[in-house]
Amino acid sequence: MDGPVDPALLSQVTDAALGAARSGGASHATVRVERVRTQVVVLRDGRLETAIDDTEVGTGVQVLSSGSFGFAGSVAVGAQPAAALARQALEAAAVTAPARSRPVELADEPAHGRVEWTSPYRRDPVEVPLGDKVGLLEEWSRRLLAAPGVDHVTAYVMAVREDKYLADLQGTVALQRRVRVHPQLEALSIAPDGDFEELRTLAPPVARGWEYLEGDGWDFDDELARLPELLAEKLRAPSVEAGTYDLVIDPTNLWLTIHESIGHATELDRAMGYEAAFAGTSFATPDGLGTLRYGSPVMHVVGDRTTEHGLATVAIDDEGVAAQSFDIVRDGVLTGYQLDRAIAASQGIARSNGCAFADSPLHVPIQRMANVSLQPAPGEGPSTDDLVSGVDRGIYIVGDKSWSIDMQRYNFQFTGQRFYAVRDGRLAGQLRDVAYQATTTDFWGSMEAVGGTGTYLLGGAFNCGKGQPEQVAAVSHGCPSVLVRAVRVLNTRQESGR
């Protein structure tokens, strides 16, 4: 398979970097060479506004020397620069060693030899000509702009191809390619008095090729056809009465609640305080492992770096650990964490479950999120309509929008794209100005039912941030529709004092 650079050059870089690290006294060393091509195309009202085509190429070397980590990265790729990076990483490890209160140790991982892996795709999205991308977004924009009540349309697609090479002193050599796309259209409708509402497509970002925009995995034609009427109804909808409601939450909204209140909360580096300076910590501390009641008994959550079309799916992580699937919450109880090798070793855990990732060859790998997914009900399970039928007074929430959660992952607030009043078990038209607010364990503890596999959808994001300097990772979250009882709902217009 194609690598980030010529194979002969990769071999020279590996020998130079790992040789310099070994001769400099490193007990462990990893070299990565990456080529990450990122494209963004934005059309405003059918006309091209932004076209980005950016390729990042570079080398990163991490060493462990006398119990101290050191890292150096550069956009230069070659034997000499790689050896120089290894020496700089050793020097960094030495400079910071006096301020390390305890030596870094790594959980064991067997050498995996040579591994080659490519995420499944049929048409490489970054090789699709700009004109074709613009042409499709123009056509989609035209359809929306032709509909009554649509005043403006923003069309967007982001495409990434990530070629990553890794070699370490243990003998693992991994060559991996990951491809992902995220198309999105947003329509804006403005009332005569200046009031306005926006509505965007629900199609999630996925680890697929351009074929996704051609209908493989999502029906864009259907979604675009329905969007203008849904937007018109939203602009006419009454403002919600703040209070306590039963919520039926669609997977297009729930994936983000999972991401924030489960995904980040069960990263062991956070739970141990290693992200306390910026991203934050977690209420789900290790003393609760096996006993913390995270949610109701219908709650089963799995971390998985092997999910088909998952944005965090790999074969080998950025510390040379093989991808795995593992329980995080089982029967509502905390049963596991996401790990990297150093954090695992610090807790006496024998093996990392493969959650190390660096978003750039110039960044050090840190523990990042697996595809963390809520499992559907066994068997056929309830449909979304079945869940709605069990609600006397509630709201059905579709699509994600605003999100915020505190630094220990207790208190969160989310909005959405569409909100439907539920009365006596039936949908009763859209509402506006809805936000739901809860404490994580209260919310998941009030989850009465999860939908069946027919409601299950893999959502996700390209822009999960963590670490200092901040790194961005793409991650997917699958989930069914769910029914959650007695959740606080705010009226956002009232919250702003109007």
Partner 1 sequence: MSAAGLPSPADLAERLLGAATRPCIAIVEDTHEADVRFANNTVTTDGVRADRRVTVVLVDAPDAPGAPGRAGIARRSGDVDVDALVREAAAATAPAEDAAPLVEGDADEGFGDDAVLTGLDRLAPVVGGLAGAFRRAEAAGAVLSGFVEHSVTTTYLASSSGLRRRHVQPTGALQLVGRRDGASAWAGVGGAEVGDGELGSLEEAVRRGLGWSARHVDVPPGRHEVILPPSAVADLMMFLAEAASGRDAEDGRTVFSRPGGGTRVGEQLTPLPFDLWSDPEEAGLECAPFLATSISTADVSVFDNGLPLGRTPWLAAGRLGRLRYHRAGAGRSGAPAAAPIDNLALALPGASGSVDDLVAATERGLLLTCLWYIREVDPKTLLLTGLTRDGVYVVEDGKVVGAAGNFRFNESPLDVLARATQVSSTVRTYGREGGSWMNRTAMPALRVPDWNMSSPSQAV
Roughly what angle, to the nearest 10 degrees, separates helices 220-236 and 130-145?
40
φ, ψ (nearest 5 deg) of residue 196 = -150, 160
Question: Of residues 281-300, which lie at the interface with partner 1 (CB under 8 A)?
Answer: 281, 283
Mark 182-221 with x for binding to partner 1 (rule: CB under 8 A) and - for no binding. ------x-x-xxxxx-x-----------------------
Q: Is 66 in the site for partner 1 (CB under 8 A)?
A: no
CA distance 192 to 219: 33
What is the nearest approach in angstroms of partner 1 to the Cβ of residue 8? 17
Q: Is 242 in the site for partner 1 (CB under 8 A)?
A: no
Q: Is 347 in the site for partner 1 (CB under 8 A)?
A: no
The binder of partner 1 chosen from 411, 454, 462, 472 (CB under 8 A): 411
What is the nearest approach in angstroms of partner 1 to the Cβ of residue 253? 15
Q: Between 64 and 322, name the residue whose CB sits nearer to partner 1.
A: 64
CA distance 475 to 463: 8
Q: Between 39 and 313, name the residue whose CB sits nearer to partner 1.
A: 39
Question: Of residues 97-136, which lie at the interface with partner 1 (CB under 8 A)?
Answer: 98-102, 129-131, 134
- CA 459 to chain CA centroid, Å, is 9
Q: Between 275 and 386, name the residue whose CB sits nearer to partner 1.
A: 275
The binder of partner 1 chosen from 415, 417, 455, 476 (CB under 8 A): 415
Query: DSSP string covering 273-338, please?
Result: TTTTTTT---S--GGGTTT-B-S-TT--EEEES--TT-TT--SB-TTSPBP-EEEEEETTEE---B
What is the nearest approach in angstroms of partner 1 to the Cβ of residue 475? 18
The residue range among 175-183, 249-257, 411-419, 446-454 that interacts with partner 1, by the rule CB under 8 A, is 411-419
3-state secondary structure of 138: helix
Q: Is 352 in the site for partner 1 (CB under 8 A)?
A: no
What is the nearest approach in angstroms of partner 1 to the Cβ of residue 262? 16
The binder of partner 1 chosen from 57, 79, 115, 145 (CB under 8 A): 57
Q: Between 126 and 349, name the residue whose CB sits nearer to partner 1.
A: 126
The binder of partner 1 chosen from 6, 11, 23, 53 (CB under 8 A): 53
CA distance 463 to 492: 25
Question: Of residues 462-491, which lie at the interface with partner 1 (CB under 8 A)?
Answer: 467-470, 488, 490
Roughly what angle, to the nearest 10 degrees, separates helices 7-23 and 79-96?
30
What is the nearest approach in angstroms of partner 1 to the Cβ of residue 340? 11
For 162, the token pair is: 């990530």
Tell which residue, 124, 125, 158, 139, has the closest CA to residue 50.
158
Geometric angle at alpha carbon 465, from 461 and 468, rounded to 5°? 165
The binder of partner 1 chosen from 437, 446, 454, 486 (CB under 8 A): 437
Q: Between 246 and 433, name the residue whose CB sits nearer to partner 1.
A: 433
CB neighbours (10 Å) of residue 75?
12
Q: Is 435 in the site for partner 1 (CB under 8 A)?
A: yes
Cα distance between the two ends of the chain: 59
The residue range among 74-82, 162-170, 233-241, 475-483 that interacts with partner 1, by the rule CB under 8 A, is 74-82
Class of residue 217 by CB neighbours under 10 A (exposed 0-12, middle 13-18, buried 19+): middle
CA distance 68 to 94: 7
Q: Is 1 in the site for partner 1 (CB under 8 A)?
A: no
Tell which residue, 232, 443, 472, has the closest CA to residue 368.
472
Q: Between 286 and 454, name the residue whose CB sits nearer to partner 1.
A: 286
Q: Is 226 in the site for partner 1 (CB under 8 A)?
A: no
3-state secondary structure of 475: strand
The binder of partner 1 chosen from 79, 117, 223, 274 (CB under 8 A): 274
Question: Of residues 21-50, which lie at the interface with partner 1 (CB under 8 A)?
Answer: 42, 44, 47-50
CA distance 440 to 496: 24
The binder of partner 1 chosen from 333, 407, 427, 472 (CB under 8 A): 407
Query: DSSP string covering 40-103, please?
Result: EEEEETTEEEEEEEEEEEEEEEEEEETTEEEEEEES--SHHHHHHHHHHHHHHHHHHGGG-SS-
The binder of partner 1 chosen from 164, 409, 418, 485 (CB under 8 A): 409
352 in Cβ contact with 460 (< 8 Å): no
The binder of partner 1 chosen from 19, 78, 217, 390 (CB under 8 A): 78
What is the nearest approach in angstroms of partner 1 to the Cβ of residue 370? 20
φ, ψ (nearest 5 deg) of residue 126 = -80, -10
The residue range among 67-75, 228-236, 251-259, 304-312 that interacts with partner 1, by the rule CB under 8 A, is 67-75
What is the nearest approach in angstroms of partner 1 to the Cβ of residue 203? 21
3-state secondary structure of 388: helix
